[in-house]
Chains A and B, each alone.
Chain A
Amino acid sequence: MDAAAGRKRWAAAYPELGTDPIPIEPYISPAYFALECANIFRRVWLNVGREEEIPHAGDHFVKEIAAAQSSVLVVRGGDGAIRAFHNMCAHRGNKVVWQDRGQCERFACTFHGWSYGLDGQLLHVPDEDQFHDLRKHELGLTPVAAALWEGFIFINLDPQPQQSLAAYLGDLGERLKGWPFAQKTACFAYRAEARCNWKVAVNAFQESYHVPFVHQRSLPDSAAGQGNPLAHPLAIILFPLHQTISIYGNPHTRLNPVDELVVRHGHSYRKRVVSQGDLPPGLNPTRQTNWGFDIDVFFPNFFMLIFGIGVYFTYNFWPVAVDRTVYEVRMYNPPPQNAGQRFALEYNRSIQKSGLTEDLATLENTQSVLASGAKKHLILQDNEIAIRHHYKVVDGLVRAPDGFGRTA
């Protein structure tokens, strides 16, 4: 605490963010939402998956990006490169690929059979002679910028991205490089659509203040304990866009009989072993012994949670409307080597899913009253500063005349 300035720890570290309440209007205003879509989601790098999902030439998936009114086709080409395209036929605009995923040698539009190569080139037009001055070489699928970071696929819907992916990820990307993401090949994934603004969802996962309350039954003593009863974070690092929030791990969690069984046979969140030596500098940044996990927030909507026990989660929050959000969760684990480890994995999945089910319930309950007019602002405590930071970054871009990168 900065006693001289009367400021608490994080407010003193980031004085430019201030300490005022933040307005509710950005969570309920359709006009504000439209500006977020135009100035942010059509301008910045967005995570859409991992490269191992499409290992072979012709493997592809489709990502619906409602905030940009776009459908994006991500495909592994014959040359091994990953490319992205607008999933829209040049003929009369039909979506070329209707399935979520697939494997093919070329994409054939279901409407009139126009077909495209894995590199997006228009290959064949049925009854081509009946068109007037058709310039096939100009009518390929419209490219979308795509790039990889540590095996994660990012796309950017700006026809001319203002920054490379590496520049956009900046220091956070550098500091997390080298963690063995590619070795975590056993993944459990979930999807929910919640009736809430995307920032209500994002904010719910940017602080650990809620843990002793929302998770009083499932994870009451994981991020809180005798030495830290209200789950204060170990560190908060705010980059220009992104964030790292380092979360305490209680070494003395109470174990129920199934926890004890799991500890005997595999990894458990309740009994953590923290290895310090081989972590990249961005992980457990203050090198605490009682470290649980880090929350890395990649602006605007992609979270990575990396745990001391060697597993990681990702969250993607996709705005659908001002009060609708798709929430995607993936839990990536090292592949189990035997049945005991497989059981442990299933138990960890089960308790973490319980916790996320508790988190999700707060989202719709919050959104359902935000527009009541009863309150105009949200009050944030010092350990909720990442919410304030995210709001300030969003608000700055919403107010910029042409969005991300255009006015700086």
Chain B
Amino acid sequence: MLPEPFRDLEPLAPHWSLGRESDRMEQRLASTMAEITEFYDAIMPRMDAILAHLNEHPLDAMPDDARRLLWLTLSLAEIAPAVHFYGQPSVINGFDARQFRPVDVPHFTPPGEPAATPPSSRHDKP
């Protein structure tokens, strides 16, 4: 569950609380604009309160419920260009997003995060 003050956002979590950038991107690309806008409208007015709440915890030692909430905010960052730049999930006139892929660089991951790509896909090449 999400932390108590934000438990009403729980219905969004199964779709948008994702630890990996590649999963957040896939969710953005697989969603309709209506779904993206619904998520944006629900979380955006709460963001200052959410970040104030999360700032109480060190990034590399967050309780699980707080971490799920942090991941939810990272999905807002992922979909913000869809809302404010493009009006569609993908980049207009863009390169295929699935062919421009996150790569892990050891010892350079932000604190407390899983690698950007799941282990099984690290060695496949296009």
Q: Considering the chains assembled together, what is the distance between the CA atoms of A127 and B96 in angstroms?
A: 51
B48: chain A residues within 8 A (beta carbon):
261, 264
Q: Nearest 9 pairs between A and B by C-beta?
A: A339-B54, A360-B95, A187-B108, A346-B77, A347-B77, A357-B94, A192-B100, A189-B103, A186-B110
Find out whether the CB atom of A354 lies under 8 angstroms from the CB atom of B85: yes
From 252 to 286 in chain A, residues with beta carbon under 8 angstroms from any chain B beta carbon are 256-258, 261, 264-265
Find out whether the CB atom of B93 lies under 8 angstroms from the CB atom of A187: no
Q: Considering the chains assembled together, what is the distance between the CA atoms of A360 and B58 in angstroms?
A: 37
**What 0/1 pattern do residues 69 to 96 of B give for CB contact below 8 A with A?**
0100110111011011110000111110
B99: chain A residues within 8 A (beta carbon):
192-193
A192 to B, closest residue via Cβ: B100
User: What is the total number of residues of chain A having a CB less than 8 Å from a CB of chain B?
Assistant: 52
How far does the Cβ of A56 sit from chain B's closest Cβ, in whole Å? 10
Q: Considering the chains assembled together, what is the distance between the CA atoms of A186 and B110 in angstroms?
A: 5
Instruction: Please pick, from A191, A218, A342, the residue contacting B59 in the complex, using a CB distance under 8 A.
Output: A342
Q: Is B42 an interface residue (CB 8 A)?
A: no
Instruction: Please pick, from A256, A342, A360, the residue contacting B94 in the complex, using a CB distance under 8 A.
Output: A360
Q: Considering the chains assembled together, what is the distance between the CA atoms of A59 and B58 in angstroms?
A: 29
B32: chain A residues within 8 A (beta carbon):
none
Q: Is B101 an interface residue (CB 8 A)?
A: yes
Find out whether the CB atom of B102 lies under 8 angstroms from the CB atom of A357: no
Find out whether the CB atom of B77 lies under 8 angstroms from the CB atom of A257: no
Q: Is B5 an interface residue (CB 8 A)?
A: no
Find out whether the CB atom of A345 lies under 8 angstroms from the CB atom of B110: yes
B58: chain A residues within 8 A (beta carbon):
338
Most buried by B among A264, A339, A354, A356: A339
Q: Considering the chains assembled together, what is the distance between the CA atoms of A188 and B104 in angstroms?
A: 8
A337 to B, closest residue via Cβ: B59
A187-B108, A190-B100, A256-B84 known; A358-B93 Cβ under 8 A: yes
Q: Is A117 an interface residue (CB 8 A)?
A: no
B60 to A, closest residue via Cβ: A335
Find out whether the CB atom of A53 lies under 8 angstroms from the CB atom of B59: no
Find out whether the CB atom of A188 lies under 8 angstroms from the CB atom of B101: no
Find out whether the CB atom of B81 lies under 8 angstroms from the CB atom of A350: yes
Find out whether the CB atom of B70 lies under 8 angstroms from the CB atom of A342: yes
Interface size class of B (residues with CB under 8 A): 35 or more
B85: chain A residues within 8 A (beta carbon):
217-218, 351, 354
Find out whether the CB atom of A257 lies under 8 angstroms from the CB atom of B44: yes
A363: chain B residues within 8 A (beta carbon):
95
From 330 to 388 in chain A, residues with beta carbon under 8 angstroms from any chain B beta carbon are 330, 332, 335-340, 342-343, 345-347, 349-351, 353-354, 356-358, 360-361, 363-364
Q: Is A52 an interface residue (CB 8 A)?
A: yes
Find out whether the CB atom of A192 lies under 8 angstroms from the CB atom of B108: no
Find out whether the CB atom of B108 lies under 8 angstroms from the CB atom of A361: no
A264 to B, closest residue via Cβ: B48
A100-B123, A217-B85, A350-B80 known; A336-B110 Cβ under 8 A: yes
Query: What are 5 pairs between A and B in contact, CB < 8 Å?
Result: A190-B101, A192-B100, A218-B81, A336-B111, A357-B91
B70: chain A residues within 8 A (beta carbon):
339, 342-343
B75 to A, closest residue via Cβ: A346
Find out whether the CB atom of A357 lies under 8 angstroms from the CB atom of B97: yes
Find out whether the CB atom of B51 lies under 8 angstroms from the CB atom of A335: no
B57 to A, closest residue via Cβ: A339
B104: chain A residues within 8 A (beta carbon):
189
Find out whether the CB atom of A330 lies under 8 angstroms from the CB atom of B55: no
Q: Is B105 an interface residue (CB 8 A)?
A: yes
Instruction: Please pick, from A332, A347, A361, the residue contacting B80 in the complex, using a CB distance under 8 A.
Output: A347
Q: Is A99 an interface residue (CB 8 A)?
A: yes
Q: Is A29 an interface residue (CB 8 A)?
A: no
A289: chain B residues within 8 A (beta carbon):
none
Q: Is A287 an interface residue (CB 8 A)?
A: no
Find out whether the CB atom of B91 lies under 8 angstroms from the CB atom of A192: no
Q: Is A7 an interface residue (CB 8 A)?
A: no
B122: chain A residues within 8 A (beta carbon):
100
**What 0/1 pattern do residues 93 to 106 of A give for CB contact below 8 A with B?**
00000011100000
Find out whether the CB atom of A350 lies under 8 angstroms from the CB atom of B59: no
Q: Is A158 an interface residue (CB 8 A)?
A: no
Q: Considering the chains assembled together, what is the distance between the CA atoms of A360 and B93 in angstroms?
A: 10
